[in-house]
Structure 1
Amino acid sequence: MPPRINIPPVTRILLIVLLVQSLLSAAIRYRQWTANSQIVIPYLNLVPQLSLVYPWTFLTTTLVESNIFTLSIACFTLYHGGRYLERAWSGREFAKFLLVNSLVPNLLCFGTFIFFFALTRSETWTLTPIAGTIPLQISFLVAFSQLVPAHTVTLFRGLISLRVPRFPLLYIGLVTLLCLTPMLTSASFLLAVYGFVVSWTYLRFYKAVFPDLDTSQTSNLRGDASETFAFAEFFPGPVRPFVAGISEQVFNVLVAMRICVPFSAADVSAARGDHHGHHSFSHRGAAPGSARAEAERRRALALKALDQRLHAATANAAARAASNAPPPAVVPPIPSATGPTVQNQPQAGSQQTMKAPSSTGEMLGETHYNPDGDSR
């Protein structure tokens, strides 16, 4: 019987919609293909000049791939990344993450193309399809950078070692190179950049997380104030101070516009309170003086101790059951109904010894109890 593939529900729906829409798009292109025309599907893909009457395309266009190469990469990425993130966050939070990183980058790319059309009056901008899973793929890389910021990936047998926060920028560079080929359009570069910024902003300031059960924190916990998830951490060391200065100015503008809310001192102190080298999450809205890192450490120790006790209890129960197992039953011989024969009856003058039953389990006469069941 083949092994069953366990795919969480949201990830399963994501893959099914991606395959159905991509195959539908390929079938339509095949039927309408001509050598001298560019085929657009305004009711499935987002085309700025044609899709305003099809508002659902702002969402559906994210799950449409135009060639087998990008479709294979999308299926691989969504399968592995979706399974990991959905199990780490829950299906509801993962669905909200997908919704934000599908809709917002498409809207920003749509606005950018309209802006370029207003500047150049070239319809090339408004007839370029905005489609593909690129914003979801880079958002998964940003999410992994938050969950495992210190993890190092080794490639080519140790020739290249990169920390996870380096992958979003490498992905943007790869997309930029592919945009110079017919494989990707100019919209792919904008989708990658907007997907990176939108996913980091959502995880940094808005994503809801579960409260600590060991503290008095409220359930309205959002964002991640840890220094390992700062925007400058995605960039190489030489340019990191420059990026940090720019991002600080942009953040101040967003705070002045009341788009973002600054982290409190308790949030920052909790983010720095991890003394064991693990990544700890600090969230806006936490109760003053709470130490989430310490609560995470205590919970991990408690789970480890509970696991050890369960293993010890299971081993003791197995040993006890083995030692208390009843010995194999020995059926004594059934005496003859006619009694002993004349030759076997004791004589009056004989000195035959009668052995009393002892604690070792011996019977009268020469009958012995052997627990191994060996006959003598």
Structure 2
Amino acid sequence: MPPRINIPPVTRISLIVLLLQSALSAAIRYRQWTANSEIVIPYLNLVPQLSVVYPWTFLSTTLVESNVFTLSIACFTLYHGGRYLERAWSGREFAKFLLVGSLVPNVLTFGTTIFFFALTRNEGWTLMTIAGTIPLQISFLVAFSQLVPAHTVTLFRGILSLRVPRFPLLYIGLVTLLTLTPMLTVASWFLAVYGFIVSWTYLRFYKPVFPDLDASQPSHLRGDASETFAFAEFFPGPIRPFVAGISDQVFNVLVAMRLCSPFSAADISAARGDHHHHNFSQRGVPGSARAEAERRRALALKALDQRLHAATAHAAARAQNAPPPPAVVPPIPSATGPTVQSQPQSSAQKTMTVQSGGEMLGETSYNPDGEDRHGA
């Protein structure tokens, strides 16, 4: 009997809606397709000039993809990212994050197209389709940057090694390149930029935080005051001070307008957490205990792998150096099971052996103090 795939409820509902709406969009496009016209679906996708009478499109347009390639990427992102975040935050908080990360960027992009139409009087701005999971994809990258900021992802067999907080800007750069081609419109670039800013703002200042059992922090804590999640941390080192100066000025303006509240000393202390062990900053956000447990589990598996290799090599050396048994004495079958050499490797040992000896396309590692090796 095949194993049952366990998908949390909010992630499962989002995947079903994505597949149904994308299939409906494809069917409508197929029935109305002509060689000389561009098909728009104003009651499913957000089109500034046509979708005002369909207000639900400000939310539904996020879970609509127009081709198989982008649909595959969206399903992969929502399946893996949604499962991780929903289990780390709870279904209710994950649903709120999806709502903020999709609705607000769509509204901001809608307003941007109207603004450029008012400046240029070019009707193409208001007929531009605003759709796709781009704001959710970059929101997931920002959320991972908050939960596992010290993890490093190695790509292309060790050629490129980047920390998780570098991926949001790389994603924006990729979207920027694709907007120069017919694959994406400029609306996709606005969605990526607004999705990055909105998701970081929500996680930084507004998202409720579940208190960690291993850290003393108030139960009413909101946002993330840790230095590792500052806005400048997403940028490369040379321009980080410049970005930090600008972001501080913007923050001061928002505080003066009472749109944001400055962090208190208790918030900062809770975000720093326990920094006396292993030089690891225990951040006061949901998932910090999970990240620490994963780090300890990886270290334990590595130590177990080393011990198993040492025991196997020692037993093999003893077997080679042992004198042969007398010919007149027949061998007695062992009643204690196979020897160390013939025992099958455990699944954990096989996994660690492949990771340490084989070549992999991509892997992750935990490196809280080191810097990125190439261009990070």
TM-score, with structure 2 as normaliser = 0.74
Give the drift of 1:183: 1.5
Greater relative contact order (CA < 8 Å, ≥ 6 in sequence): 2
Contact residue 203 and residue 223 of structure 1 kept, 8 A: yes
For each residue in 1:179-218, what CA deviation from the matched residue of structure 2 results, as whole angstroms up to 9, or x when unmatched? Answer: 1122111110000000000000000000011135577754
Describe the SS at the equivalent of 1:162.
strand
Give the drift of 1:282: 3.7
> In structure 2, how many angstroms separate the alpha carbons of the residues matched to 1:52 and 1:280?
46
Query: Which residue of 1 is the match for residue 14 of structure 2?
Result: 14
Query: Which residue of 2 is the match for residue 309 of structure 1?
Result: none
> In structure 2, how many angstroms separate the alpha carbons of the residues matched to 1:24 and 1:170?
32
For each residue in 1:165-190, what CA deviation from the matched residue of structure 2 results, as whole angstroms up to 9, or x when unmatched? Answer: 00000000001111112211111000
**Cα pair distance change 1:26/1:166, threshold 3 Å:** same
> In structure 1, how many angstroms separate the alpha carbons of the residues matched to 2:77 and 2:212?
31
Alignment of 1:275-290 (within 5 A): 275-276=276-277, 277-282=279-284
Letter in 2 for 1:248: D
Contact residue 216 and residue 270 of structure 2 kept, 8 A: no
Letter in 2 for 1:255: V
**Cα pair distance change 1:216/1:248, threshold 3 Å:** closer
Describe the SS at the equivalent of 1:3.
coil
> In structure 2, how many angstroms separate the alpha carbons of the residues matched to 1:213 and 1:164?
25
For each residue in 1:294-327, what CA deviation from the matched residue of structure 2 results, as whole angstroms up to 9, or x when unmatched? Answer: xx69x97xx99xxxxxxxxxxxxxxxxxxxxxxx
Contact residue 212 and residue 284 of structure 2 kept, 8 A: no
Letter in 1 for 2:248: E
> In structure 1, how many angstroms separate the alpha carbons of the residues matched to 2:16 and 2:74?
12
Query: Which residue of 2 is the match for residue 26 of structure 1?
Result: 26
> In structure 1, how many angstroms separate the alpha carbons of the residues matched to 2:75 and 2:198?
22
Contact residue 10 and residue 86 of structure 1 kept, 8 A: yes
Query: Which residue of 2 is the match for residue 139 of structure 1?
Result: 139
Comparing 120-129 and 179-188, the one that deviates more: 179-188
> In structure 2, how many angstroms separate the alpha carbons of the residues matched to 1:4 and 1:279?
37
Structure 1 vs Structure 2 CA RMSD: 2.0
Give the drift of 1:266: 2.2
Q: Which runs of 5+ in 2 are unaligned?
A: 298-376
Paired residue total: 290
Contact residue 226 and residue 280 of structure 1 kept, 8 A: no
Contact residue 217 and residue 270 of structure 2 kept, 8 A: no
Describe the SS at the equivalent of 2:153.
strand
- Is the aligned partner of 1:166 residue 2:166? yes
Describe the SS at the equivalent of 2:124.
coil
**Runs of 4+ in structure 1 displaced over 6 angstroms?**
none
For each residue in 1:14-43, what CA deviation from the matched residue of structure 2 results, as whole angstroms up to 9, or x when unmatched? Answer: 100000000100110111111111111000
Query: Which residue of 1 is the match for residue 258 of structure 2?
Result: 258
Give the drift of 1:56: 0.2
Q: Which has the larger radius of gyration?
A: 1
Letter in 2 for 1:3: P
State the percentage of identical aligned residues: 85
Query: Which residue of 2 is the match for residue 367 of structure 1?
Result: none
> In structure 2, how many angstroms separate the alpha carbons of the residues matched to 1:88 and 1:282?
13
Alignment of 1:161-200 (within 5 A): 161-200=161-200
Contact residue 47 and residue 130 of structure 2 kept, 8 A: yes
> In structure 1, how many angstroms separate the alpha carbons of the residues matched to 2:215 and 2:75?
40
> In structure 1, how many angstroms separate the alpha carbons of the residues matched to 2:42 and 2:258?
36
Q: Which runs of 5+ in 1 are unaligned?
A: 284-292, 305-376
